[in-house]
Amino acid sequence: MHMKNKNIYRDTVRWMLLPVLSNVIYEVLKLSMVFIVAYFLGRVTDAAIAGKYDVFLDKGNVLLLIIAIGAVCVPLAAIAMDFIWIKAGSVSDIEMCSKISFWKYDKLRKMDEGEIEYKLSEELCEFRICFANVLSTLILVPIFGIFLAYCVKQMGVIYLLFGICCSLFTLLIPIIFRKINLKYEKENWNYLSGQNQIFTQISQFAKTIKCFGLKNGIVKKWKLQFEKYLNSSRKKAIKIENLAGEANGFVKAVSQITVLILGCILMEKKMITTGCIVIMLQYLSIFDTFFDRCIQSITNISKVREKANRLHIFYDNLERENGVNLWDRVQTICCKNLSYSYDGNSVIDNLSFSIKKGEKIQIKGQNGSGKSTLLKILCGLETEYEGDVLINNIEIRRINLSMWRKKLAVIFQNAYIFSGTVAENVAMGKLNAAEEQVQKQMRFVKIDDMAQKAISYGANELSGGEKQRIAVARAALKDSEIILMDEGDNHLDAEGKKILFNYLKQTDQTVIFISHDLEFGKVADRVLNL
């Protein structure tokens, strides 16, 4: 396994170790039940043929008891295994989602939402299943080896090897037809892709489709595509699937008959008993299942590698967790020859400035001049720039970002509001803040009367001004060294702007802000023009 993907393998083992062990226990339990039942069934058969009815009754009663125990234990083990799998899958999904929240902003911004969703919902799930299948099979191999060693003792090497060869022969059919089916998977994928494209067109361009009366045309296009698919590859695939099923059943029947015939020959020569034949016929199903699992695991190894190569994105895009710790207060923020380009277009060109502790700086410039981008760079969100951004003469890309952001409070023009209550949203500015501190900041922005107001996903219950007041209260609660404001006065009414204005004017924090409101210009000690 490639070293590049060691993180995804390591975490998957951590997430899936318990489910894998539960799967192994479940498989061993099933194997043991089939093995024990077959063993006693063989002994009961021998006792009945020999006329030993006391032995027959004793072994028969034990057999019934074992069957009863298996009927209870195996389903319970299956339920427990499913529960463990679901729990482990949930933990895995949560951890991967948390990793997305720690992605580099500039990488996250470039990622397609559908691609992230697909990697989480489809690829990660398939990777876990394939990985667990391979790992559990590796654990089961030595256990199955012990089982085979005991079988040799009971039935002899020749008869056992013959039975194994017959089981392996039955696997030829799935292998052959699996290769044939690969020819039609591409066509199937093309069909599904085309179908998804049509659905996307209908959802994204519904306005155009409806206004121009294109509904019938879109439906007709999809119908023709669907019929084309049915008339070609799908029909062949269905025929092949049916043929494979019939062929597999036929081969299994031939294998059982062959084992039975050889058993009769050996029984005639007094080499085995009738019970051994019964046992071997039962064991054939065990051999079939296990060997099929081994082949599936071999196939899954390539899938595991393929998926890991695509899932390592969850780790490659993570923000830097180490770096220089800023224990001291921030005395200076400097930019030297700062340049930034987006999609080949220069946004910031050779910018240099210096900001001292406690200064209030207003950033001005035309639309597209890089005002918001500059604040994102100062937050450590955008990292793909040229030049230097120095905090206390330390390049920001060398600084521990978590510690740096503890020194920042940011007010964006469109505040994000979480589901919960207004008070809970304000409290996110400082998670360990006392209730009195939260209440104080809500009174400061005059939203204390709506502290317990419930907010759903999307925060449609709140106006734009109320959202911004929450953002201001959240920033004030944090009590940071530095305030960054990107048009945070947007959506605020006159009263809200007055509250924010007075806060910025009176605070001794370093303030760097963007505002088009002329009144807010009075807060600034100086203006930085871009």
Report pLDDT digits (tens) over 312-354. Answer: 777 777 777 778 888 889 999 999 999 998 877 888 889 999 9
CATH of the domain at 359: 3.40.50.300
Which residue segment(s) compose the domain that 140 sits in?
A: 1-156+297-319
State which of 271, 287, 310 marks the end of a domain.
271
Residues 6+ apart with CB under 8 A from 117: none
User: Does residue 382 or residue 151 have the better pLDDT?
Assistant: 382
Q: What is the DSSP letter of 112?
A: -
pLDDT grade for 164, boundaries at 50, 70 and 90: confident
What is the Cβ-side half-sphere exposure of residue 199, based on CA atoms within 13 angstroms? Answer: 6
In a domain, 469, yes or no: yes
Would you state the structure tokens that stand for residue 194, as one six-digit string?
A: 């085309």
| H or E stretch covering 420 | strand 420-421
Same domain, yes or no, for 60 and 177? Answer: no
Q: How far apart are the first and last CA of the chain?
A: 50
* pLDDT tens digit sequence for 308-317: 877 777 777 7
Nearest Cα residue to 170 out of 247, 274, 278 = 247
Nearest Cα residue to 15 out of 109, 104, 128 = 128
Spatial contact of 366 and 345, defined as CB atoms under 8 Å apart: no
Same domain, yes or no, for 234 and 214? Answer: yes
In a domain, 48, yes or no: yes
pTM for the complete prediction? 0.63
104-118, 168-182, 433-447: which range is least confident on average? 168-182
Nearest Cα residue to 312 out of 128, 124, 133, 88 = 124
Spatial contact of 273 and 46, defined as CB atoms under 8 Å apart: yes
pLDDT grade for 205, boundaries at 50, 70 and 90: low
C-alpha distances out from residue 487 to 250, 359, 363, 473, Å: 74, 18, 10, 16
Compute the Cα dihedral for 303, 308, 309, 313 and give only its sign. Answer: positive
Same domain, yes or no, for 230 and 379? Answer: no
Same domain, yes or no, for 359 and 487? Answer: yes
Spatial contact of 330 and 481, defined as CB atoms under 8 Å apart: yes
Which alpha helices (DSSP H) does 390-463 contain, by range?
Answer: 401-406, 422-427, 435-444
Task: Indicate the number of domains in the chain.
Answer: 3
Residues 6+ apart with CB under 8 A from 257: none
Spatial contact of 410 and 486, defined as CB atoms under 8 Å apart: yes
